[in-house]
């Protein structure tokens, strides 16, 4: 769940779900349904309705959560008339509400499902969470990167300390469309190390072939902040050697799956010499010349391995020759200019 829904959606839920209507009441519900183009009025109406929910008597909320769960479990459906140009997927929301109410019995956060956008991210998709944008992870695995902070504020769906008043003061109440919240990365194909075609991209100088189901590529998720960016690195099991040129930022690399060796290199981008690789470093040693780079350290990696890579440090990844599992890794770093 992330960001507030458009007011007409919240109002429709509050009007047609009796348990939610019992908390929000007709005045706040009508306030949501009668908003048109005034953004200030929109945000204030959403804030008023959500504050009403979050400040409701806990025993009342608990009973109503259980009542709605019971109705849905017994086969009743959430029925919302079609909105202007679309129909809400109420069947999926009903299933999610049952799960939330089972995992967090009587929790007021269960009703947040009808205030926040529900997003389902597929593998490779991402979302950027701006400061003060309310959100909650419901299920599944993800890679999360955040700025250094100690200011997470909780208000529901958690056994941890809750600070409802503070959360209501700071969160963004501007409505969002769920589809607009997804964050698209920039895909860069990895160039074969034994190809005549090379890239000068500062993110990679890499390998291999195009005839595999998993393409060798880097997807960069670069949000509009300096704090961080994340690379999703996918390397085909056919592509055994990949070399990464230095970044201006230190970075953290985590291996999701794959097995092999990571080698830290001494990188000399100004050198004009073409030193052949030693035989222990590449199967291409007899017929391929590379820019000057020498192995300084070598580390084995496997699923769950994590590496800290200093700024200005080049490294290479060597997958096991008999490995049939492609490499999937994520690399996080400060979002500084590479110019």
- Active site positions, annotated: 154
Residues 6+ apart with CB under 8 A from 132: 170, 171, 172
CA atoms of 83 and 8, how far apart (whole Å):
8
Report DSSP state, residue 275: P
CA atoms of 43 and 41, how far apart (whole Å):
6
In our burial notation (b when 16+ CB lie closer than 10 A, e otherwise), range 79-92 reads ebeeeeeeebebee
Q: Are 25 and 19 in contact (CB under 8 A)?
A: no
Report DSSP state, residue 325: S
Residue 135 bridge partners (DSSP): 2
Helix runs in the chain, H state only = 7-16, 18-33, 39-54, 58-73, 90-103, 164-170
Could you identify the residue written with the tokens 């959360």?
A: 167
Could you identify the residue written with the tokens 């981008």?
A: 269
Rg (CA), the chain: 26
135 is in an annotated binding site: yes
Residue 318 bridge partners (DSSP): 241, 261
Cβ-based neighbour number of residue 208 at 10 Å: 23
How many helices and strands, by DSSP H and E, does the chain display? 6, 14
Residue 186 bridge partners (DSSP): 220
Residue 192 bridge partners (DSSP): none
CA atoms of 302 and 298, how far apart (whole Å):
14
Binding residues: 135
Binding residues for Zn(2+): 135
């Amino acid at each position: 769940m992330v960001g507030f829904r458009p007011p007409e959606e919240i109002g429709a839920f509050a009007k047609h779900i009796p348990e939610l209507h019992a908390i929000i009441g007709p005045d706040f519900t009508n306030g949501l349904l009668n908003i048109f183009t005034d953004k200030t009025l929109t945000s204030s109406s959403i804030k008023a309705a959500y504050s009403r929910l979050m400040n409701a008597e806990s025993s009342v909320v608990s009973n109503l959560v259980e009542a709605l769960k019971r109705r849905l479990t017994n086969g009743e459906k959430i029925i919302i008339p079609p909105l202007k140009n679309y129909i809400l997927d109420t069947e999926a929301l009903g299933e999610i509400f049952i799960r939330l109410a089972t995992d967090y019995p009587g929790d007021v956060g269960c009703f947040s499902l009808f205030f926040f956008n529900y997003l389902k991210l597929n593998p490779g998709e991402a979302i950027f969470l701006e400061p003060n944008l309310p959100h909650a992870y419901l299920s599944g695995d993800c890679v999360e990167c955040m700025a250094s902070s100690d200011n997470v504020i909780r208000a529901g769906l958690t056994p941890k300390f809750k600070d409802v008043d503070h959360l209501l003061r700071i969160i963004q109440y501007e409505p969002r469309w769920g589809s607009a919240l997804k964050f698209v990365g920039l895909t860069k194909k990895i160039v074969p190390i034994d190809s005549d075609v090379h890239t000068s991209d500062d993110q990679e100088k890499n390998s291999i072939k195009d005839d595999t189901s998993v393409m060798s590529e880097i997807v960069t998720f670069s949000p509009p902040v300096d704090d961080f960016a994340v690379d999703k690195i996918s390397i085909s099991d056919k592509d055994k050697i990949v070399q990464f040129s230095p970044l201006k930022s230190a970075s953290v690399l985590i291996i999701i799956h794959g097995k092999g060796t990571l080698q830290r290199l001494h990188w000399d981008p100004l050198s004009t010499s073409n030193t052949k690789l030693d035989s222990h470093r590449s199967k291409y040693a007899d017929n391929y010349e590379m820019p000057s780079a020498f192995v300084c350290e070598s580390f084995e990696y496997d699923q769950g391995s994590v590496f800290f890579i200093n700024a200005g440090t080049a490294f290479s990844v060597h997958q096991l020759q008999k490995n049939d599992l492609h490499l999937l890794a994520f690399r996080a770093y400060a979002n500084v200019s590479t110019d």
